[in-house]
Amino acid sequence: MEQRFAATGVEASTPVSMNLRSTTLPPCIVFEDDDLLVVNKPPGWNTHAPSPYAGEGVYEWLRHREPRWAELSILHRLDKDTSGLMVFGKTPLANRSLTQQFEERRVEKVYRLRTDRLVQATDWIAHWSVVRAGDHYVARPQAVGLDPAETRFHRVAHGSGWTEWEAYPRTGRTHQIRVHAAQGGMPLLGDSLYGGGPATRLHLSAHRLSFEHPRTGDPVSWSVDPQWDHDPRSLLRQAVINPSETDAYRCLHGASDSGGSGFYLDALGPFHLLHSDSDAPRSLEIGGGIKAVNLYHRRLNRKVGVSGTDESCPRWVRGEQAPEAFTLRENGVRYEMRFDQGYSVGLFLDQRDNRRRLLTGHIASGFPLMDSPVANPEVLNCFAYTCAFSVCAALGGARVTSLDLSKKYLDWGRRNFALNGLDPSAHDFIFGDVFDWLRRLGKKGRQFDCVLLDPPTFSRSKERGDFRAERDYGTLVASAAAVLKPGGTLFASTNAARLEPEVFLGQIREALAGVGRRVLKDQYVPQPSDFPVSREEPAYLKTVWIRVV
């Protein structure tokens, strides 16, 4: 019997045996049909990933999220700090039609912008060419050899200290509206690059998008509210987090969210947990439209391998105090959280998207979790902690073996299984050293369709001694390869900040080659968008999914 691929709504071409789960679409999706995907991009998110190992852009995040979006094509772009409507093509027909409409200037793009400068005219047209000058652009009189650029401006509203305009660009040069507005004496609020007044965000949004539908030829149009008064940090989370199924995510991520280095805030169901380098301030204003009513605080521990339970537990700051255990939701899956068990409270939020991949059986464009239909897929979760990966794999239809050095955490994992209607007795929970058990399982001839490696940066066991990710990750991969089936999937992850992505990937490839295994396909996955990457707050999480033969 054929079964639908998770979250696609499209019939699978081959029968599958896993009980794959679907999750709801992200809130940023405005419209979808067989040909088009229309998205409301929040400010502060790149259209494209700026580099291979930085955070994903909107395009990469979407293209790898759903199987039916695997061939998604980008047809126009918005600057990182510009919000609003974007359209993506899903079919060759849509791509051809919309490319032609854009080239022939038959797509109506209407932007909204705000400025704090007064301009007497209510309508005016900018005819300056836009020329690159270092890290920005400048307006130049149109002349032979310069690409023409034209924008019409129309004033639509005004208030205390601001005037709102609509901009109708007839051409699509980089920074065109920003440069033209500044040259016309009305630089945008929040646009420090072009002399705009201070604001929490760039006040520029793609407000309306209209064109002919590529299949029917009918006129179609969408519009969105710019939401100037909403904090951009919250808008980013609201674009990707669906509150109907997820109430755990990072609200503020250090310097990337202008919170300052060493200031991080997580939503954990009904509670918020603040992490900082210093003690919790007596008078704490979170900002960003975040109502952290029930707040806990934990001082960051920068010392690897040091996490005394009493000293590192979150401390109550205000509001309702947490019970001994409480439950949160992520992608519709339930997990038990505790604030009385030391540094970690039960779930690593930065692995949310990777857990979803196990849940849905879809890694990335052209990369299913299982290379071919498997009747009873076997997954080995090493360093299982509270078994969050294991729960998602089990909900996806796999039989899971969870391996960890802590009986306490394995018992916690069993409770997470039960919370989601899973029978823990139908799965294996092994207490012991990962290296020792990989050797034992290999000797017994056990083989798994998928092996998950997410070790702590540092750990210590009586059997093996110290494990340090920067030094020993290759050895771990070689050991895991012995129990991975040919054509199986290896997941490797580390949050060792000093281990550069290129070095990390090199260690993995070298280790696999050293035991006679070959990489058929791989997909590098940066940390999710609610953990934004910036120059001030570089990426720390490195994960890769690998098909190994």
Q: How confident is the model at residue 261 (pLDDT cuts 50, 70, 90)?
A: low
Cα 186 from Cα 155, distance rounded (Å): 11
- By percentage, how much of the chain surpasses pLDDT 90? 81
- Is residue 319 predicted with pLDDT exceeding 70? yes
Sign for the CA dihedral angle at 86, 353, 419, 458 comes to negative
Overall average pLDDT of the 291-316 stretch: 76
Tokens of 3: 């079964």
Rounded CA-CA distance 451/403 in Å is 11
Tokens of 176: 């065109």
The pLDDT of residue 280 is above 90: no
In eight-state DSSP terms, residue 25 is P
Provide the mean pLDDT of the chain. 91
At residue 286, the pLDDT reads 65
Least confident window among 5-9, 14-18, 301-305, 533-537: 5-9
Q: Is residue 6 pLDDT above 90, yes or no?
A: no
Domains of the chain: 29-223 (3.30.2350.10), 241-328 (3.30.750.80), 348-548 (3.40.50.150)
d(CA 38, CA 36): 6
- The answer to whether residue 533 scores a pLDDT higher than 80 is yes
Q: Looking up tokens 């990337």, which residue turns up?
A: 256
pLDDT at 263: 86
For 358-411, write each residue's pLDDT tens digit. Answer: 999 999 999 999 988 888 899 999 999 999 999 999 999 999 999 999 999 999
Q: State the DSSP string of 145-202.
A: TS----EEEEEEEEETTEEEEEEEESS--TTHHHHHHHHTT-PBTT-GGGTPPP-SS-
pLDDT in tens, 489-522: 999 999 998 899 999 999 999 999 999 999 999 9
The encoded tokens of residue 270 equal: 């009904």
Dihedral pair phi/psi, residue 125, rounded to 5°: -125, 130
Q: Are 549 and 518 in contact (CB under 8 A)?
A: yes
Token pair 């299949």 in the structure block, residue: 215
CA torsion sign, 273 to 278 to 283 to 286? negative
Query: For residue 227, which phi and psi values (nearest 5 degrees)?
Result: 55, 55
pLDDT at position 287? 61
pLDDT at residue 2, rounded to an integer: 28
Residue 258 confidence (pLDDT) above 70: yes
| pLDDT reported for residue 285 | 65
Amino acid found at 418: A
Spatial CA neighbour of 240 closest among 416, 44, 20, 4: 44
Query: Is residue 214 pLDDT above 60, yes or no?
Result: yes
* Beta strands at 129-133 and 123-126: parallel, antiparallel or unpaired: unpaired
Mean pLDDT of 146-154: 96
Active site residue 277: no
Q: Half-sphere exposure of 242 toward its Cβ, with a 13 Å CA cutoff?
A: 13
| Cα–Cα dist 125/290, whole Å | 40
- Residue type (1 letter), 257: D
More confident call, 21 vs 328 = 328
The pLDDT, as a whole number, for residue 497 is 86
Gap between the Cα atoms of 89 and 91, Å rounded: 6
Is 16 a residue whose pLDDT tops 50?
no
Q: With 70 as the cut, is the pLDDT of residue 15 above it?
A: no
DSSP string, 194-249: GTPPP-SS--EEEEEEEEE-TTT--EEEEE----TTS-HHHHHHHHH--TTT--EE
CA–CA separation, 397 and 359 (whole Å): 9
Beta strand pairing call for 378-382 and 448-453: parallel
Looking at residue 282, what is its pLDDT? 58
From 33, 34, 79, 454, active-site residue:
79
Residue range 528-538: average pLDDT?
Answer: 93
* CA 301/CA 290 separation, integer angstroms: 25
**Parallel/antiparallel/unpaired status of strands 204-212 and 83-89:** parallel
Give yes or no for a contact between 263 and 276, defined as CB atoms under 8 angstroms apart: yes
Mean pLDDT, residues 220-238: 95
pTM of this structure = 0.91
CA distance 334 to 391: 9
Measured between alpha carbons, how far is 158 from 179 in angstroms, rounded to an integer? 21
Contact criterion met (CB below 8 Å) for 39 and 86: yes
**Residue 506 phi, psi (nearest 5):** -65, -40
pLDDT score, position 9: 33
Phi then psi dihedrals of residue 67, to 5 deg: -55, -35
* 315 vs 331: CA distance, rounded Å: 27
pLDDT surpasses 60 at 7: no
| Whole-number Cα distances in Å, 163 to 121, 198, 350, 524 | 12, 14, 40, 44
Angle at 524 between CA 451 and CA 413, to 5 degrees: 40
Q: If you average pLDDT over residues 25-32, what whole number do you get?
A: 97
CA distance 524 to 54: 10
313 torsion bin: left (phi>0), alpha (psi -120 to 50), beta (else): beta
pLDDT at 8: 32
* Rounded Cα–Cα distance for residues 193 and 137 (Å): 9
CA–CA gap between residue 255 and residue 345 (Å, rounded): 23
| Residue (of 442, 544, 457) closest to 493 by Cα position | 544
Torsion sign (Cα): 523, 528, 529, 533? negative
Q: Which class for 159: exposed (0-12), middle (13-18), buried (19 or more C-beta within 10 A)?
A: exposed
According to the model, what pLDDT value does residue 259 have? Answer: 63
Mean pLDDT of 271-282: 83
**Residues 519/509, Cβ–Cβ less than 8 Å:** yes
pLDDT of the residue at 376: 86
